[in-house]
Amino acid sequence: KAGVTQTPRYLIKTRGQQVTLSCSPISGHRSVSWYQQTPGQGLQFLFEYFSETQRNKGNFPGRFSGRQFSNSRSEMNVSTLELGDSALYLCASSLEKGGEKLFFGSGTQLSVL
Amino acid sequence: GEDVEQSLFLSVREGDSSVINCTYTDSSSTYLYWYKQEPGAGLQLLTYIFSNMDMKQDQRLTVLLNKKDKHLSLRIADTQTGDSAIYFCAESTNDYKLSFGAGTTVTVRA
């Protein structure tokens, strides 16, 4: 069974641009979650989706948004990028419930210059 | 509230046992997890324990849970160089997310 797939693996953007990250969950998994990992703040929860509905959102500004498609694939978008948005963005999937037995992808390393 | 704490570093000799400790504050935690992260990689789910259990053993890994003290530990028997990584403790409640500790960097020396 293929694991969680995230694309792209690396991304370099400049301040003010926007970015879209993609995540394909493990086949059969319907919940997709996103986390931001930085050296200073550690792992911070962004949002969780199930059946195209956002069930929970972390404490991030409105520039961070996401969505889930009917095939459970998910995207997250960050608009008006800031230097502090540089981070590893991790996607995770689980069968039904974000927070239960999450399996993570390798992440997208975003650098904002 | 959610607050997961771990010690930041652990150095262990190859072949010895490693013990990584974690404390959490949310008494409504349902599951508690241990994840491993190697350089440049995502998080690998190592093991987990349901909140009504005291202990879980899985090959070289033993998880102990003291719910009264909100203390979780991970013991790795016969630690190998491939066990060098960052280990994260995490708790889940009923709000569809995990709260992570800051991670313990385990260094295995020959």
pLDDT in tens, A26-56: 999 999 999 999 998 999 999 999 999 999 9
Look-up: residue for tokens 């969505």? A67
Interchain CB contact of A101 with B (< 8 Å) = yes
* Residue numbers in B near A35 (CB within 8 A): 98
Mean pLDDT of B5-14: 95
- And the tokens for A105? 């992808």
pLDDT, position B109: 95
Question: What is the DSSP secondary structure assignment for residue B82, as one 8-state letter?
Answer: G
Put simply, whether A43 touches B (Cβ < 8 Å) is yes
Interchain contact A87–B (C-beta under 8 A): no
Q: How many CB pairs under 8 A join A and B?
A: 61
- B73-102 pLDDT, tens digit per residue, is 999 999 999 999 999 999 987 788 999 999
Split at pLDDT 50, 70, 90, the class of B26 is: confident
Query: Which tens digit of pLDDT belongs to each residue from B28-75?
Result: 878 999 999 999 899 999 999 998 899 999 999 999 999 999 999 999
Taking only the tens place, the pLDDT of each residue in A54-107 is 999 999 999 999 999 999 999 999 999 999 999 999 999 999 876 788 999 999
Per-residue pLDDT band for B2 (boundaries 50, 70, 90) equals low
3-state secondary structure of A97: coil
Using the structure block, give the residue that is written with the tokens 């509230």: B1
How much is the pLDDT for B95? 82
> Is residue B24 exposed (0-12), middle (13-18) or buried (19+ Cβ within 10 Å)?
buried
pLDDT at B20: 98
Closest CA of chain A from B36, distance in Å = 11
